[in-house]
Amino acid sequence: MLFFCGGMFSVYAAPAIGSPSRPQFVQNKSVAQSLKTLDIGVLAFRGEKDARLKWHETIKYLNSKINDVHFRMQAFTLPQMRRAVAERTVAFILTNPGNYIELEAEYGVSRIVTLDSGKGNETGMRGTIGSAIVVRSDHQDLRTLSDLQNKSLMAVSKHAFGGFQVVWWALENHKIDPFSDLSRIEFAGFPQDKIAYAVINRRVDAGVLSACVLEEMIAEGKIKKGVLRVLHPQSYDYFPCKVSTRLYPDWPFSKLRSTPNNLAKRVAQALLAMPADSDASRSGGYAGWTIHMDYQPVHKLFRGLQIGPYRWMRSTNFQQLWERYRHWIVIFILSLLWGIWHMVRVEHLVALRTQQLSKVNQDLKAEMDERQKAEERVRSHQSELAHVSRISAAGELASGMAHEINQPLSAINSYAQGTAWRLQAGEMKVDELIEVHQLISRQAERAGTIIQRFRGFLRKQEIICTDIDINRAIEEAMELFSAEAQKRNVNIELHLAQRLPPVCAEMIQVEQVFLNLMRNATEAMQELDIDSRILKIYSEDNGDRVLVEFHDNGPGISDEVAAHLFDPFFTTRDEGMGLGLSISRSIVESHGGQLVLLEYGKQGLVLQASWPLYKGDDKNER
C-alpha cells in the first residue's frame, strides 16, 4: 500500500533495513568505489529508516541513468540539513518548500525540478503540502480553529514547514497567536508519530501532523480508525486526505551553488523522463517529476509570519540594516562622498571658466536647440512606431475574432431590425416576438462561445473530459493557424473521415496539440520550395479510438533523433526549447490517448495522435 504525505512517502510490506533482501544501490561495489560519490540530502521527517525505504529506488534510478558519478542518500533532520548545506557536504537536497526557501535565501540553493505526487491537475500542479490538526474524536468542544484558544498544542518544531509553520499561518489568519493565545505549545521533533500518540494519551489537546500522516498511521495499524479526527477539515477534490489548512507546492529537488550546472541539467532531464510506472515511482508513491513550480505562496506565508528570509521585518534597527544591506550602504556613502567632491570641483571649474563659456554660449545654445529638436523628432517617431505596433497586435487578435463573431452579430442585427419593422407595422404577435428573442439569445450565446474559445488559449484551464468532435477541433485549429500557414506559404490539405464518433477530451487542449503539430511541420518545411510545402492531415475511426495523422514532406530525421524526439529539452533547432512535442504528448496522454512517431526517413515524417472514444460517463476531471 502507498501513501503520499506532505511531500514524503510510505511503502508498506517493504523489506526492513539490514535484512537479506535489502535493495542495493550499486550491484558492483568495486565499480561504485571507482566513481566519484555525491551525496543527496533528504529530509527524513518520519525517521531515517522510513526515508531510506521510500527513496532507495529513486537513488538507484539516478545511478542507472548517470554513469560517471555515484549518488548516495543521506537522511537529515532540519538542523542536520542546514549544516550539510552550509558545509557543502551534499550536492543536491530534497526537502520541504519552507526549508528550501530558507536555504535558498541563506546559501543560494536553487530548485531544478518539483516532485509530482499525482494529486495535481495537468495544466498546472496544485498544492500537495499541507497540515492536519488532529484531536481526539471524543473531544467534542474542539470543532473549529477558534476553539483552540486556551488549549495545548504539540508540533514538530518552530522551523518545520508542514509540521508547524503552515498551521501557524492558518491560526494567524483566524486572529490566534499560538504563542500567546494557547495554554501551551510543545515541540516534539521527528518522527511525527509521537505527536499522534501524545494526543491519544491526552498529554496535549491537539497535535500538528503533515498532510496524510494520520491516514498513513491508520493504514499501518499504528492507531485505530476513529480515535483521532481532523480539526477544521478542508476537502479538495484532487487531494485524498483531510487537512486543516490550504495546500502548498510540492517538494523541490534542488542543487547547491557549488554543484556544476551541467550535472544538475543531466539530473533534471533524468528525473523529468522518469516513467510514472517505474520502480522508483511505485516505491516512492509518486507520479514522477515536473518542471519546478512557483513557490510564491510559501514566500507569502513567510512574509506574513516574518520568519525565514523575512525575520528581519520583526524588529528593524540600524544593526540589522547594516548586517543585511552593509554592501549597499557602503556603496551609497562612497557615492555620496564622490558626488559632493565632484560637485565642489565642478563649481570651482565653472567659476574659473565662466568668462570662456560666455563667449561660446550662443553657439552652445543653438547646438542644444538643434539637439532637442532632433530628440523630439526621434521620440515622435518612436511613439508612432509603438502606436503602429499596438494597432498591429490588436488587429491580429481582432481579425481572428471578427471573422467568426461577425456572423452571429449580423444575425442578431437582422432579427432586431426585422422585429422593429414588424412591431411598427403592427404585424407581430406575442408568440412570434418570443420566438425571435429566443433566436437572438442563441446567437448571443454563440458569440460568447467564440470569445470564450479565444480566452481559453490565453490562460490555462482545467482538463475536463467531454464529448469532442475531432474533425471540428481540427477545423477550428486550422482556422486559428491559417494566417501563419499563409505567411509561411504552406498548403494544408484536410482528409477527414465522415461521421466520426466523439472522443473523450477537452477541446482547448486538443486544439493546442494540433496547433503545436502544425507549427512544427510548417517550420520543418521552410527550406523547401514553396510548391513542395504541403501538410496533409487525416482523421479516421479504428474501432475503439479516433486517429489523427500529420504527414509533412520536410527533410526527415535520423534514427538517433527519432529515439529522442519526445524527450524534454531535446531539439534539432538552435532557437528551439525542445518542449513542444513533449508537452503535446503529455496533453494527449492525460486524455488517455497516445502521440507516436509513425513513420520517418530521409524525407518527411508522420505523427499520429489517438484519443479514446467518449462513453457518456467519463465527465470526471482528469
The per-residue DSSP string of 55-69 comes to: HHHHHHHHHHH--SE
CATH number at residue 96: 3.40.190.180
Shared domain check, 273 and 328 = no
pLDDT at 17: 33
Q: What is the pLDDT of residue 71?
A: 95
Tell me if residue 620 falls in helix, strand or coil. Answer: coil
- Type of residue numbered 208: V
Helix (H, G, I), strand (E, B) or coil at 393: helix
* 348 and 376 inside one domain: no
**282 CB neighbour count, 10 Å cutoff:** 13
What pLDDT shows up at residue 44? 87
Choose among 153, 142, 210: nearest CA to 181.
153
Low-confidence ranges of the chain (pLDDT < 70): 1-34, 119-127, 315-321, 323-324, 378-408, 410-411, 442-443, 446-447, 449-450, 452-463, 570, 572-579, 617-622
Q: Within this chain, do residues 101 and 166 fall inside the same structural domain, yes or no? A: no
Cβ proximity of 171 and 148 under 8 Å: yes
pLDDT at 6: 41
Same domain, 301 and 232: no
Q: Are 152 and 186 in contact (CB under 8 A)?
A: yes
What cell was used for 538?
Answer: 487525416
Same domain membership, residue 168 and residue 44: no
- Residue 377 forms part of a structural domain: yes
Same domain (yes/no): 448, 497 = no
Same structural domain, 300 and 278: yes
Q: How far apart are CA 305 and CA 168, in angstroms?
A: 8
For residue 23, the model assigns a pLDDT of 40
C-alpha grid cell for residue 6? 506532505
Q: Could you give the number of structural domains in the chain?
A: 5
In a domain, 312, yes or no: no
Same domain for 230 and 215: yes
CB 310: neighbour CB atoms within 10 A? 16
Grid coordinates given for 86: 552550509
618 domain-assigned: no
- Provide the CATH number for the domain around residue 476: 3.30.565.10
Same domain, 7 and 151: no
Cβ neighbours around 238 below 10 Å, total: 14
CA 79, distance to chain mean position in Å, is: 29
For the chain, give the number of residues. 622
Q: Model-level pTM?
A: 0.44
In a domain, 373, yes or no: yes
509/472 same-domain check: yes
Q: Quote the CA–CA distance of 604 and 559 in Å, as a whole number.
A: 13
Rounded distance between C-alpha atoms, residue 179 and residue 241, angstroms: 28
Is 49 a domain residue? yes
* CATH at residue 384: 1.10.287
CA distances from 220 to 11, 55, 213, 573 (A): 10, 19, 10, 52
**Other residues' Cβ atoms within 10 Å of the Cβ of residue 423:** 11
Instruction: Confirm whether 622 is domain-assigned.
Output: no
Question: How many Cα atoms within 13 Å fall on the side-chain side of residue 109?
Answer: 30
Q: Which of 26, 27, 23 is nearest to 56 (CA)?
A: 23
Same domain, 198 and 284: no
In this structure, is the dihedral angle defined by the CA atoms of residues 459, 460, 464 and 469, taken in order, positive or negative?
A: positive
CA distance 57 to 284: 8
Model pLDDT, residue 208? 95
Is residue 255 located within the same domain as residue 115?
A: yes
311 lies in some domain:
no
Burial 143-177 (b: 16+ CB within 10 A, else e): eebebbeebbbbbbbebbbbbbbbbbbbbeeeebe
- Chain-centroid distance of CA 299 in Å reads 16
Domain that holds residue 348: 319-352
Q: What is d(CA 16, CA 316) in angstroms, rounded to the nearest whole number?
A: 51
* 617 in a structural domain: no
546 close to 610: Cβ distance less than 8 angstroms? yes
Burial of 8 (0-12, 13-18, 19+ CB in 10 A): buried
Is the C-alpha dihedral spanning 328, 334, 340, 345 positive or negative? negative
Q: Alpha-carbon distance 339 to 345, whole Å? A: 10
